[in-house]
A and B are shown apart, each in its own frame.
Chain A
Amino acid sequence: MNRLEEELKAALQREAPSEGFAGRVLARVAERDRQRQQSRRWFALPVLRWAVAAVIIVVAGGGFEYHKQVQERREGEQAKRQVMLALRITSAKLQEVQWKVQQLNRDREAREQ
């Protein structure tokens, strides 16, 4: 080991933390455990459990209702598109028949003259 390494070993010796370190750690562990227990106990209250269940039901019900409405709107729009297509086809057919009738009338008038 050269001089630099010896100096490094001396400079980086372990140092003790300030007095009462272990006590402060144990106190923090105890405080954290107490908080965890408290939150567990709080959730264990029947009222809170029912409240959480109610919120879940409301959110799930709302989601289902929303999904249903979106689905109905989509089906309605599809039905509307189909009706419009049918009307366009019918209109085209009627125009064709009208054109043929007019053609027949013109031919008849020409023959009579």
Chain B
Amino acid sequence: MENWKDFATLVTEHQSMVFSVALHFLRDRMAAEELAQDVFLQLHDALPGLETPDHVRFWLRRVTGHRCIDYIRRHKHDPLPLEDITEPSSPPHDIGDPMLRRRLQQVVASLPEKQRIVVILRFQEEMDMEEIARVLAMPLATVKSRLHRSLAVLREKLERVTGMSCV
């Protein structure tokens, strides 16, 4: 087996990526850890068929995305309603404000699952639209419209919650 296929090394290298996609998607550390472990168990079986390190990264992103969507559907987690996001006593305004970040994570978690995964891959993984389309096996136009719609919703929700303008 080639060096790059050393399973322990691959887990160490990709654990943050897989865990964070699941965490931002599910907003539940325990569930995210369990899902990430399941993804790596599946990788262990699939590894002989993967040809390059890039192929492994692509495979991990695709499987993690699909597993996140399946998890939500299986557990019937409704998106977090905006009403559950409490308004702060003083609205946060500064970039880098931890409270604002938490609120943004909550608002992302309130998006429908397919929009949510597009947003996470775009802003966590900094993937371009073509890559996201390939990973999620979606037409490019669908990815673009989902991202556009998500950003509009996020902007509107964030303005309602924090009172800040984020044009």
Co-complex (A, B)? yes
Residues on A lying within 8 angstroms of B by beta carbon are 2-18, 21-22, 24-26, 28-29, 32
**A17 adjacent to B41 (CB under 8 Å):** no
Question: Which of A14, A15, A28 sits near B37, CB closer than 8 Å?
Answer: A28
CB distance from B129 to the nearest CB of A (A): 14
Given contacts A11-B108, A16-B15, whether A21 and B33 have CB atoms under 8 Å apart is yes
Given contacts A12-B123, A16-B19, whether A25 and B101 have CB atoms under 8 Å apart is no
List chain A residues, Cβ under 8 A from B23: 15
Whether a CB of chain A sits under 8 angstroms from the CB of B12 is yes
CA distance A22 to B7 in the complex (A): 10
Given contacts A11-B101, A28-B37, whether A4 and B95 have CB atoms under 8 Å apart is no
Interface majority SS (helix, strand, loop, mixed), chain B: helix
**A8 adjacent to B119 (CB under 8 Å):** yes
**A15 adjacent to B20 (CB under 8 Å):** yes
Whether a CB of chain A sits under 8 angstroms from the CB of B1 is no
CA distance A26 to B37 in the complex (A): 9
CB-nearest residue of chain B to A21: B15
List chain A residues, Cβ under 8 A from B123: 5, 8-9, 11-12
CB distance from B26 to the nearest CB of A (A): 13
Given contacts A3-B166, A21-B33, A25-B11, whether A15 and B16 have CB atoms under 8 Å apart is yes
CB distance from A25 to the nearest CB of B (A): 5
**A16 adjacent to B41 (CB under 8 Å):** no
**B24 adjacent to A17 (CB under 8 Å):** no
List chain B residues, Cβ under 8 A from A17: 15-16, 19, 32-33, 36
Given contacts A3-B166, A3-B167, A4-B154, whether A26 and B8 have CB atoms under 8 Å apart is yes
CA distance A56 to B17 in the complex (A): 49
Question: Which of A2, A7, A22 sits near B100, CB closer than 8 Å?
Answer: A7
